[in-house]
Structure 1
């Protein structure tokens, strides 16, 4: 790989002149700049982005904080983010937080150290950066005064409850995600607004996490302790799929004995047999729209503060057919 020294030697100028030309940080004569650009092309020189970011106090990099990269919903968000970043000529630095506030702070410190231009965060912990780096929240939003793109999760909870009620449940188990995460509370309130109105018998099952590595243990605990329910509103697709897997292993028929609806519409939700009925939230669009907002902030353009996307139901095979 060519170095800045080799570019300078080939162009017949100093390293400082090459640096000024690359960073647009001072005067460089037209002839000298032409020689430098020709040398860069011939040597296929790639500037050191980290060094340049330290010099300019900014960079062509943005940070993305995700709560759990093992959950296939979040790579959908990441793809939306990266597609916009690529269009803008930026690279994306990924931080997989896994619900750990210390781990998240390490990523935040790293991002700040390398002068990233902005941050996109789907974590429920991070709020701001001390040095004024712009931040846009994806999906999980605590502060409604911040910039964010999310889904109407209250409506999503309502859709889940309405959909399962159509399939003649006898007793419903409503899974509740971690209550410190705003989307979990919104979904819970949405579902309960429908279930309470219907006077249907239901119980709550607190999970305290959305982490994929807890899904199988949670499924075992649920089926061990709630053998009288015949309908489950899961808090995400990963947990729903784990419950289906565990139920089938125990000889419990799905949807005959237990029916279930998920949430997210992850790519794997249609791979299970039976395929999972789920409330879909548009992960790719969340990432894409949030990334657009962030770059408008970076470019100092006028930008709308928030976008609320609509969830919708995808009906497959894990609920009993109406009339049966």
Structure 2
């Protein structure tokens, strides 16, 4: 909104809702608040709100459904070729900032991101009305689809729309070839870097702490390509390179089981570890909190590393050594592959760098 221009109350309501739609804060198919609540929020009259909603409906941004309410419209954008469909998580330390960064990069290039409910996108049985709306969008002549590849196997919606340009992000864990373009994180190298760092500093009994995808729900090819499997590959490579593979131990966590009891059990084993490589900074912090309560010194008694360089790596009581990816580079590459006419059908792997902090070095 241009604050130097004086707007009527109706225009302010229109511009605010329009902005929320284009920024993905109001998603396709999402129900708007009641007219009474909108009027209360803007300190306005019901008639003024109705006027704003009529204009939004005339511009094909919302639609009123008698008896149900008013919803964000899932299609009917004026210039479909300037739209880019986004299917990615927008919550959490990593993805909240990244999804906003990606939308901003598209806006800067003159494209409009269409953001939908990611939880429904990865549902194995999305609602039929939701699926119909997605199909309509993908048939509308949009510029491209940018897809977070995690859990895409649950709902491979592009199989019906093979002609649509697609860019997969971060990782891909479904069977078959990547259909088009991709910008992926090199998960194997990330865990290799942390494990090799520990080994180079004299640690010889290194445990990998990660989660295990259920092989019963994944094909063998999908299981092999899953990022947890890639973590294990990087861990094994470092152990072999430093000739300490005889100790190889992997703990498959559920997230909630990383606590004092677990760490006490690990440290009282016949061969206790001298380092733990974690699949995330959050899980590394859980180990650190448990160690502090048990009087275990970090890194003197045991070194701990994380992954992704999230705020947890700095917020932890002992700052965490972690791997770092350039998320802006990821966004720039994704947008380029999505909208540039001469972009190639290729897969880009982003290399991590190691951020060494107190949790791993004495």
Same fold (TM over 0.5): yes
Whether 1:275 aligns to 2:315 is: no
Distance in 2 between residues matched to 1:290 and 1:48, nearest whole Å:
28
Change in Cα spacing, 1:92 to 1:244, as seen in structure 2 (3 Å) is farther
Q: Secondary structure at the match of 1:78?
A: helix
Structure 1 residue 193, shift from structure 2 partner: 1.2
Correspondence for 2:134 among 111, 136, 141: 111
Whether 1:254 aligns to 2:298 is: yes
Q: CA RMSD in A?
A: 3.3
Task: Please give the residue correspondences for 1:218-257 in structure 2 after superposition, counting only pairs within 5 Å.
Answer: 218-219=258-259, 222-227=262-267, 228-257=272-301
Distance in 1 between residues matched to 2:82 and 2:258, nearest whole Å:
42
Distance in 2 between residues matched to 1:52 and 1:99, nearest whole Å:
14
Stretch moving more, 236-245 or 73-82: 73-82
Distance in 2 between residues matched to 1:145 and 1:172, nearest whole Å:
37
Aligned equivalent of 2:146: 120
Whose RCO is larger (CA < 8 A, sep 6+)? 1
**Conserved? CA contact 2:277–2:306, under 8 Å:** yes
Distance in 1 between residues matched to 2:250 and 2:80, nearest whole Å:
48
Structure 1 residue 83, shift from structure 2 partner: 1.9
Distance in 2 between residues matched to 1:109 and 1:219, nearest whole Å:
45
Structure 1 residue 76, shift from structure 2 partner: 3.8
Task: Please give the residue correspondences for 1:103-252 in structure 2 after superposition, counting only pairs within 5 Å.
Answer: 110-115=133-138, 117=142, 118-126=144-152, 127-129=156-158, 130-131=160-161, 132-142=163-173, 143-179=177-213, 180=223, 182-200=226-244, 201-207=247-253, 215-219=255-259, 222-227=262-267, 228-252=272-296
Distance in 1 between residues matched to 2:187 and 2:167, nearest whole Å:
18
Q: Secondary structure at the match of 1:217?
A: coil
Stretch moving more, 282-291 or 227-236: 282-291
Task: Output one character per residue of 1:124-155: Cα deviation in whole Å (capped at 9) or x when no partner.
Answer: 33245213443211011243453100122222
Structure 1 residue 59, shift from structure 2 partner: 6.9
Structure 1 residue 225, shift from structure 2 partner: 3.7
With the length of structure 2 as denominator, give the TM-score of the two structures. Answer: 0.64
With the length of structure 1 as denominator, give the TM-score of the two structures. Answer: 0.70
Q: Secondary structure at the match of 2:257?
A: helix
Q: Which runs of 5+ in 2 are unaligned?
A: 1-9, 12-51, 63-72, 214-222
Q: Which runs of 5+ in 1 are unaligned?
A: 3-42, 208-213
Distance in 2 between residues matched to 1:240 and 1:105, nearest whole Å:
37
**Conserved? CA contact 2:60–2:76, under 8 Å:** no
